[in-house]
Amino acid sequence: MHGVLFTYAGDRAGHGPHQFDGPYVVIDFQTTGLAPRGADRVIEVALARVEADGTVGEPWSTLINPGRGTGVPFIHKITDADVAEAPTFAQIAPYLLSQLDGAVVVAHNAPFDEEFLAAELDRAGYRDMRMPGLCTLWLAERTMGDLPNRKLPTLARELNIPLTTYVSRDHVVATAAVLKHALAMYGRPLLYGSDVFHWTGGPVLPPRVVNKVRGLRKGDGWMTSLMTKLPVVAGDVPDAAGEAYYELLCAAMEDGQITRDEAQALGTLAGEAGMSRLDVEALNQRFLETMREAAFADDVLTATELRELTRAAKALGVPDYFDDLTPTNTKVPRHPTLGEVRVDPSEEDSGPTEAASASRGARRCGNCGEVGHYRPTCPSLATSENLGSG
């Protein structure tokens, strides 16, 4: 079957001369409506690459500014305000096409996404392209016929994959799982009527993204859930946005934990600022390192301080962050006849505290990540300040 952009997979000899076993790129769009060649536009895009060996890469996603209203928000939960600072489709098109290089394009109910992809590419000036396409709805109908239907939520439940309705990032994760499962069950070569698409525009840096964090689940923790909703790769984040996130995090962590509402607020800020998972991890680590510095300000780590550090690390999704630390030994030795004997604290055996450890959690700088100093004395920060003052 030939669509406006894709030549779809089949298993008959006359279906096409091309056979591919991967890689695949799973795509999903949220749109303002159902008319791609009319007034409706894409307002969210997500993709995930699946290698020939079945390895699923990290999803990439962003909201899209359609240049018009977002349609009916109660369906996709995306408002006009959400996309106000988002990139246009034309701005992300080069990166999107570079990711489709050499791959079969996959979607669930693929003709819907194909029509919107073709229309948006046409508006952005990219025309007359063909690429192999695979619809996981079609594939599931041939391999998972014992289910009541082959809708993505049904398939996700069958495969125990969490899925948030109308969230493109979650959809590509679920579709990638369906793809792997269904291909294994199908067990026969698939043929396509066109060769893979090749991007000839050269290297493309990831564009600035804007995401709306939706569908948080407590699971292993609110922060862990938040992280799964953010892309691993994103563009530059303004310093002001990073500081705003850090201030909000400090306020949220005053009681040593993250609630759902606090995680949602942090996620909203991170998404709107175009932060990646690595950006948020770095800011969370900065907070933990500040806590570490405060705890060791007197060169003594009490059991209470260690509990507070561990509690904070758990709330931020890294429960083993301070595993190398142990409380400073402050036990007072007893003489058999004289009773308690006070000694100079500098002469006590402090045990394997942070100064004695060179592992990941030991006296690690919150700026550069190196062992041996804290953020306030980081050489790279001092260098930056000197350059700035010149």
What average pLDDT does range 45-68 have in this prediction? 94
* Nearest partner of 350 among 288, 273, 283, 296, judged by Cα: 296
Residue 366 pLDDT: 56
What dihedral do alpha carbons 249, 252, 255, 256 form, nearest 10°?
-40
List the single range of 277-281, 357-361, 375-379 with lowest mean pLDDT. 357-361
What average pLDDT does range 364-370 have in this prediction? 63
pLDDT digit string (tens) for 115-131?
Answer: 999 999 999 999 999 99
What average pLDDT does range 331-353 have in this prediction? 49
Bridge-partner residues for 135, per DSSP?
A: 107
Phi then psi dihedrals of residue 77, to 5 deg:
65, 25
List the single range of 80-84, 100-104, 354-358 with lowest mean pLDDT. 354-358
Q: Is the pLDDT of residue 34 over 90?
A: yes
How much is the pTM?
Answer: 0.74
Residue 130 pLDDT: 96
Q: How many CB atoms lie within 10 A of CB 19?
A: 11
Which amino acid is present at 295? A
DSSP code, position 358: -
Residue 252 pLDDT: 95
Q: Is the pLDDT of residue 149 over 50?
A: yes
Question: Is residue 134 very low, low, confident or very high in pLDDT (cuts 50, 70, 90)?
Answer: very high
- The Cα–Cα gap between 96 and 72 comes to 26
Chain mean pLDDT for the chain? 86
User: Which domains does the chain possess?
Assistant: 6-192 (3.30.420.10), 222-389 (no CATH)
For 9-15, the CB contacts below 8 A with 24+ separation are: 9/104, 9/132, 9/133, 9/134, 9/135, 9/138, 9/139, 9/190, 9/191, 9/192, 10/190, 10/191, 10/192, 11/188, 11/189, 11/190, 11/191, 12/191, 13/191, 15/191, 15/192, 15/193
Residue 373 pLDDT: 64
- The Cα–Cα gap between 248 and 304 comes to 25
Residue 114 pLDDT: 98
Residue 363 pLDDT: 53
Residue corresponding to tokens 């390895």: 55
Percentage of residues of the chain with pLDDT beyond 90: 65
More confident position, 341 or 64: 64
Residue 136 pLDDT: 97
For the chain, where are the alpha helices, taking DSSP H only? Answer: 73-76, 80-83, 89-99, 110-123, 136-143, 152-158, 168-186, 222-228, 239-252, 260-272, 277-295, 303-315, 379-389
What average pLDDT does range 267-281 have in this prediction? 91
- The Cα–Cα gap between 33 and 72 comes to 8
